[in-house]
Every structure is written in C-alpha cells, then in structure tokens.
Amino acid sequence: MNSRPTKIVIIGGGFAGVSAASELGRRTRRDPAIDVHFVSDENYFVFQPMLPEVVSCGIEPSHILNPIRQLCRHVNFHCAQIKSIDLANESVALVGADARKTSTLQYDHLIVCLGLTIDLGRIPGMAEHSLPIKTLGDAFHLRNHVISRLEQADIEPDEQIRRKLLTFVCVGGGFSGVETIAELHDMVRAVLAFYPRAQATGHRTVLVHSRERILGELDEPLAIFAQKKLRQKGIEIILNTRLSEVTADGVVLSNDTEIDAATVVSSVGNAPHPMIAQLDLPQERGRLLADQFLRVKDHTDIWTLGDCAHVPDLQRGGLCPPTAQYAMREGTRCAKNVLATIRNQRLRPFKFGGLGQLAVIGHHSGVAQVMGLRIAGMPAWFLWRSVYLMKLPGLRAKIRVGLDWALDVFFPRDITKLALHRTEALRRAHYRQGECIIKQGEIGDKFYIIESGEVEIIRESEDGTEKRLATRAAGDSFGEVALLRDTTRTATVRCLTSVDVLTFGRSDFTTLVQSYDTLRIDMETRMQAIADQDRQNASQESPRADG
C-alpha cells in the first residue's frame, strides 16, 4: 500500500454527489488509506422535489435544506466552485468565497456529477423576464415575485394593468411545470381574500406546453386525468404551442397570440454543464458516457453519474432517466465501485428499474404510477407526501416540513414577501493608507473607480524590489487590464491616502464595455496606450502601469 492515502474527489452537490459522498464517508471513516474530498458551490443540499411547494408558500425555503457538512460526515468538504479540471495532472482547480484565489485538489479517482445548468437564451426575452424554478433561490424569488404582484395589484387603480399583474403564465408541461402552476394557482386563490381590490379583478393562470399532452413521462390516461383536473381547477392549458418572445409585459406565443402577464415562469431550458464540454472525455451532446459500472467510458479513474451522465439502463433498456431516485442509487453504486477498484474487488453493474412516478397537481390531488399501478386524485397526493417526507434527508428537515404541512391545515398561507436582497448594484469599499487594493499575481475580479483619495501602481520584481509605475486620483479608474485581457493582476495598487472606491464585478464590467459606446471607446483608447507602452517597454525592458 502507498504511504500517501488514495484521494477520491467528488464534484457536484446534487442528489448524485451527496449520495456518493455520504456512502463513501460512511465506508471509509476507519480507513486511513483513503481520503474523500467533496466539492460543491453551496454548503447545503436542496431537496428539489419540494421546490414547487416553496413557491406556493406551503413550505419555508430553509426547511428543505440540509447542511452538507452535517449530511456527509467523514469527508473533507470544500465549499467552492470548480474553475477547471486538469485530466493530465489529475487535479481540479477550486475558487472559494475569495474570487481572487484558486486552490488545487489532486485526485486518484474523480467522480463527476455536475448535473445540468439552465439556458434561457434560446427565446428572446426569456432570460430577462422569465423566472426559472431550478434552484432554491429561484423558488424563493418566484414566491416573492408573485406576492409582490398581488401587493402591487391591490394598490393599482388601472383595471387593465391589474389584470396583467394577476396573470401568471408557466412554460413547460413536465413534472416541475405542472406542479408549479398547480401550486401557484391554489396559493393565489387561497390568499386573494387578503387582497380585496385584487380579488375583485380575479386571477388567471396559464400553462403553455409544446406537445400534444402534458406530463409526457406518464402513461396517457394518467396525463389526461391530470390535464382534466388542472382545467377543472381553472388553469388554462395551451397545448402544441411554443413561446416566441417574452417581455416585461407578457408573452407572445408561436400562434401569434399575446398574453399580458407580469409573471412568466419557465420550467424548460435544461442545458448541459459547460464544464463537461471542455473535457477531453467521451461524451454525447454535453453528457459524459458512462459504462455499466458508472466509469467514464475507456477510463478507470474517472466516474460519472446523475444528470450530467449518459448511464445505460440495464433493467429497462435505453438510458437512465434524470430523476432523483436514479441519481441517489447511482451514487451508492458508484461509491461501492470506486472502493472496489481501490481494494481490488469485483465491480458490480448499476441496475435499477425505477419505483414509479408521482406528481402533485395542487391541493389534495395527484397522479402516480407505481409498480405497474396507476393512482389518481387524493390517494396519489397522499402517497406523494408520504414518499417524499420519507425521502427527505435529515430528521430535522422531516419534522419541519411535516409541521409546515400541519400548520397549513390550520393557518392561512404565509404571504410574507421577504426582502432579503441588497439592492445596491454598485459596491463600495474603503481602504486605509498603505493598504493594497490589488495584489500583483491575483486573479482579477473587479474594476475600480476612485471616489476619493489617491493610489500608486507598483510593479514588484522577482527580487522583491518595487517600482512605482503611476499614481491615480479621484475620478480615475484602474483594474481593467486583468479583466479585459483575462490575465492575473500585472501590478499592485496601494493606497497613498485613505481611499474610497466604487467597484464593478468582472461580468458586469465586460458586458458594459461591450455594449456601451462611451465606455468602449474610453477602454479601447486606454488599452491601445498600454499596448504601445508594452511595445516600447519590450525594447527598454521596463514594465507598464495598468493595475
């Protein structure tokens, strides 16, 4: 055995990653020869199936969360983003809360379960004006958005605008779209009594779906039942129709109908994780190809599972569907196979046929397909609640969600519109004399405008000597070079006095420079001057002043 422990690194904190990490933690806690590292950009695990109920104020956002450090014991957890994966050197580069620094994590086995991302860019206006429901933040914002529309409608004198404020459109008739629109409809109907002026106008909920029927994953009779139930509730369902444009005032459909709506929910737009495409690994349409043991094809030390992987379904043929039940079981199987590889034991193929499918279609109604049986209505709803409460990890979470459900029977819905975000887009910072705002060699993450005070720009040479390249004062700016050239900081910026600055993040700054002529021209002039100086310096061997 090596003196150095074998390092297993898991990247991605969804169902698949958490399941693999907790299994590995459990099975290796007494084995000093194996180190397990788990990387996720959030320090909590979200129980996604309950997101629609967060939207409808039925469950508190925090109740469906579990701190990963408490859920996955005996692993080294890193709360960080993956910046890059280096297959040749068997390492991943991480960026934590301090965006100016990367750290490197070596691996012997890498488990890739990065999941999917969302891409709303395909329909004009969709990214700007529709609200996705993929993350907890999304559910939370949608909830606040809906309540804010009710508050606004209640003080709006214009009947037509009130109607727009009370129209809710959801795009996509899969599980999450159907559950969300049903929850949203029931919620608005339940709380409208508290908004007398809005109630007089009434609300409208519309589901737009591109196919012939909703819930394509289910058998036709069940889907038709759900469709009928939703329509009975008063939800309009528009089938065989796509969105062609979304604006702040509503949607334009592919049949040229316009619907005025202040709320457009998007449950479509899943896209492959961009990091996958950058890897020189066998893949198909942005997903890694896994073999029956969940190894990436033709590799023995890289594993993949969950929504970012193409996993063959040995039981039913075809590919494993991107659902939580599959991801969790893939996680445990993968953990066991990684350990089997390290310990020279026999690997076992991943085999699972699925337990069935469940969907809630609003208060006290659901549809289910379990072990060949089809259930609809109240029993399916009850089954959903029992199954998911059981599956929700952590006893505390179970108690809290159970209590939310119980309180829901006795109390009106909680319609607090939580104002938790900071509205400030521009950030300010204060530095005292002698402090360094930028350090040479760091990753550049911000552009700075000096509000007051004076700074010096310094080049440090390798022998530690410093050279002042320039000074900058109020009204001036610095920090653009590393952002526009995508390099690390080429100089240090130090305060000559107390200094106050305004800052822009990297993406905001580059977007602005691309789109806004005034800035673009100014930056082009500056970058040109620096390039000229660079050329001059190349012959004189003296450095440039840029920050």
Interface of this chain with its own copies, residues 391 to 420, rule: CB under 8 A:
395-396, 399-400, 403, 407, 410-412, 414-420
The one among 285, 425, 539, 541 contacting its own copies by CB under 8 A: 425
**Does the footprint of its own copies cover residue 307 (CB under 8 A)?**
no
d(CA 80, CA 39): 6
Which tokens is 249 given?
Answer: 């005032």
At its nearest, how many Å lie between its own copies and the CB of residue 132? 11
Choice between 56 and 365, CB closer to its own copies: 56
**Does the footprint of its own copies cover residue 194 (CB under 8 A)?**
yes
Which tokens is 495 given?
Answer: 């305060």
At its nearest, how many Å lie between its own copies and the CB of residue 508? 5
Residue 312 DSSP label: B
d(CA 422, CA 107): 38
At its nearest, how many Å lie between its own copies and the CB of residue 122? 13
- What is the pairing mode between strands 287-289 and 283-284? antiparallel
At its nearest, how many Å lie between its own copies and the CB of residue 505? 6
Site size for its own copies, by CB under 8 A?
98
Please identify, among the stretches 82-90, 345-353, 456-464, 496-504, the one whose residues bind its own copies according to the rule CB under 8 A. Answer: 496-504
**Residues 15-54 interacting with its own copies (rule: CB under 8 A):** 42-44
At its nearest, how many Å lie between its own copies and the CB of residue 408? 10
In contact, 543 and 467? CB cutoff 8 Å = yes
**End-to-end Cα, the chain, rounded Å:** 49
Choice between 155 and 271, CB closer to its own copies: 155
Choice between 31 and 42, CB closer to its own copies: 42
**Does the footprint of its own copies cover residue 127 (CB under 8 A)?**
yes
**Does the footprint of its own copies cover residue 142 (CB under 8 A)?**
no
Q: Say how many C-beta atoms besides its own lie within 10 A of residue 82's C-beta.
A: 21
**Does the footprint of its own copies cover residue 63 (CB under 8 A)?**
yes
Residues across the chain = 547
**Does the footprint of its own copies cover residue 159 (CB under 8 A)?**
no
- What is the pairing mode between strands 270-272 and 446-452? unpaired
412-420 — which CB contacts under 8 Å span 24+ positions? 412/190, 412/191, 412/194, 413/56, 413/57, 413/58, 413/187, 413/190, 413/191, 414/57, 414/60, 415/57, 415/147, 415/150, 415/191, 415/194, 416/147, 417/144, 417/147, 417/148, 417/151, 418/140, 418/144, 419/144
3-class secondary structure, 380: helix
454 burial level (CB within 10 Å; 0-12, 13-18, 19+) = middle
**Does the footprint of its own copies cover residue 5 (CB under 8 A)?**
no
**Residues 505-534 interacting with its own copies (rule: CB under 8 A):** 505, 508, 511-512, 515-520, 522
In contact, 230 and 362? CB cutoff 8 Å = yes
**Residues 242-301 interacting with its own copies (rule: CB under 8 A):** 245-249, 252
At its nearest, how many Å lie between its own copies and the CB of residue 527? 14
The one among 38, 140, 175, 350 contacting its own copies by CB under 8 A: 140
Choice between 326 and 448, CB closer to its own copies: 448
**Does the footprint of its own copies cover residue 62 (CB under 8 A)?**
yes
**Residues 81-110 interacting with its own copies (rule: CB under 8 A):** 94, 96-98, 103
Please identify, among the stretches 282-290, 295-303, 468-476, 482-490, the one whose residues bind its own copies according to the rule CB under 8 A. Answer: 468-476
At its nearest, how many Å lie between its own copies and the CB of residue 444? 16
> What backbone torsions phi and psi does residue 48 show, to the nearest 5 degrees?
-55, -40
